[in-house]
Amino acid sequence: MVRKRSGDRELPPAEDRGAAELQSAREPGEVEHELRVLFDHVPCSLAVIDRDYNVVRSNAHFRQTFYRKGATRCFEFYKGRGRSCKSCPAREVFLDGAVHREVQNGRGSRGQTLQYLVTAAPFDYTGAQVRTVIEMAQDVTEVVELRRRLEQVEKEKLEAERLAVVGETVAGLAHGMKNILMGLEGGLFVFKDGLAKNNPEVLQRGWGMIEGNVARISSFAKEFLGFARGAKARARLVDPNAILEEVAALYRPMLDQAGIALQLEAGQVLEPMAVDPEGLHTCLTNLLSNAADACLAGERKHRRITLRCEEEDKIVRFFVKDNGVGMDAEVRRKAFTSFFSTKPVGKGTGLGLLTTRRIVAEHGGRVEVSSARGRGSTFVLVFPRARLPVPTSETTTEERKVGLHEQHDQ
């Protein structure tokens, strides 16, 4: 702001001088009256509190909302209690002279439970010491209830998504088991036919069919145990990049031996995220194993898998990209919706991607895939932070904190 000077004296701008002249033209009593009217009629509760927590002044809204016969101290008005609150914004202001704000639980003048947002700030000083504090309380009960309902709707939506994944998975498992049984029945039929005809060639073909399906049963059993393990995510705060580095270190020797280059791209330094580390590890190893198989099935001379983790708009994404054989639209469509595998008999059951999808869904996330035949595939695990589970260890601590807080404040 440019100010004009007259000699050595700095003059305020013209608009400030006009306001100052208007102010000086008004009587002090008139200004005080207007301030009192403003204080008394703002649509929120105002109270001035001294160092003994006595309410020395309050407005009409405060008296209407928190009036209690015989009450003199703020905690008597706000909560109907006989001792100071464990968490007290006014106390904090007296200690450090700063503005403090938080949502508190209280009791209204009719005995109803209220949630109110209280903002406390210094009001008057004695020297450097805060003598009185002014508190502004706004009833946010409806806002808190609306937030609770929205959180409940989000939980129900997430649960519905998880159940949908489970339903698709169970249907896929049933379809897979049916295929195995049909294969065994077919092999047994051919084998019996070879016995009846005493035909070694038919016997060998039937036995080969039985062996192949027995191998599928073995692979199926191992993967099914892995699928069934850890139905509920046991989340704790972990470094996303650390898990990616761990998976890369685990697979690098095997991939080097297979002639596949593994590139771990340097990503952002990310805040810890609440996930089940074993579950996320399983997802990444499933995708990495599939990427290796896709590279080996392709005809490229230089085979490559790239891992990356990044975050944007509070959404964490893990990328597993390969330049392998790729998938056409039909294979992509089947990859997550049925018990499906492109691997040779006995080498895969299709449970890996189903397991990955289920674990990611348990974390409130999703799996995205882009691929083209002959051009490789990119799988992305998408985790919105807002939908991640609460860390298990912190849940217990938080529940204890809430319980103590409610006992203290009621």
- In this structure, the strands spanning 100-107 and 113-126 are antiparallel
Homologous superfamily of 148-392 = Histidine kinase-like ATPase, C-terminal domain (3.30.565.10)
Cα gap 35→62, rounded to integer Å: 17
Residue with tokens 């009256």: 33
| pLDDT band with cut points at 50, 70 and 90 for residue 213 | confident
Report the alpha-carbon angle 44-48-49, nearest 5: 130
- Report whether 209 contacts 235 (CB < 8 A): no
Token digits of residue 298:
């392709």
- Under DSSP, is residue 233 helix (H, G, I), strand (E, B) or coil? coil
Residue 186, C-beta contacts closer than 8 angstroms, at least 6 positions apart: 209
DSSP result, 137-171: EEE-HHHHHHHHHHHHHHHHHHHHHHHHHHHHHHH
What fold is seen in the domain 42-139? Beta-Lactamase (3.30.450)
Q: What's the average model confidence in pLDDT over 108-116?
A: 90
| Amino acid, single-letter form, for residue 166 | V
What are the residue ranges spanned by the domains of the chain? 42-139, 148-392
Q: What's the average model confidence in pLDDT over 194-214?
A: 87
pLDDT of the residue at 251: 87
Q: What's the average model confidence in pLDDT over 89-107?
A: 93
> Which CA distances in Å does 105 have to 52, 76, 102, 115, 376?
21, 13, 10, 5, 56
- Report whether 111 contacts 81 (CB < 8 A): no
Cα gap 76→54, rounded to integer Å: 9
- In this structure, the strands spanning 236-238 and 260-264 are unpaired
Indicate the burial class of 199 (C-beta count within 10 angstroms; 0-12, 13-18, 19 or more).
Answer: middle
| pLDDT band with cut points at 50, 70 and 90 for residue 304 | very high
Is residue 47 predicted with pLDDT exceeding 90?
Answer: yes
117: phi then psi, degrees, rounded to nearest 5 = -90, 115
Percent of the chain with pLDDT over 70: 76
DSSP result, 174-203: HHHHHHHHHHHHHHHHHHHHHHHHT-HHHH
Least confident of 269-278, 370-379, 398-407: 398-407
State the alpha helices, DSSP H only, in 262-350: 277-297, 329-335
pTM surpassing 0.85? Answer: no
Q: What's the average model confidence in pLDDT over 268-291?
A: 90
Q: What's the average model confidence in pLDDT over 321-329?
A: 88
Cα gap 313→377, rounded to integer Å: 25
Counted residue by residue, the chain has a size of: 410
pLDDT of the residue at 28: 65
- Residue 107's nearest CA partner among 135, 143, 151, 137 is 137
Give 54's strand partners.
73
pLDDT of the residue at 356: 86
Q: Tell me how many helices (H) and strands (E) the chain has.
A: 12, 14
Q: How many CB atoms lie within 10 A of CB 344?
A: 11
- The H or E element spanning position 317 is strand 315-322
DSSP result, 335-394: HTTSS---SPTTT--SHHHHHHHHHHHHTT-EEEEEEETTTEEEEEEEEEGGGSPPPHHH
- Under DSSP, is residue 122 helix (H, G, I), strand (E, B) or coil? strand
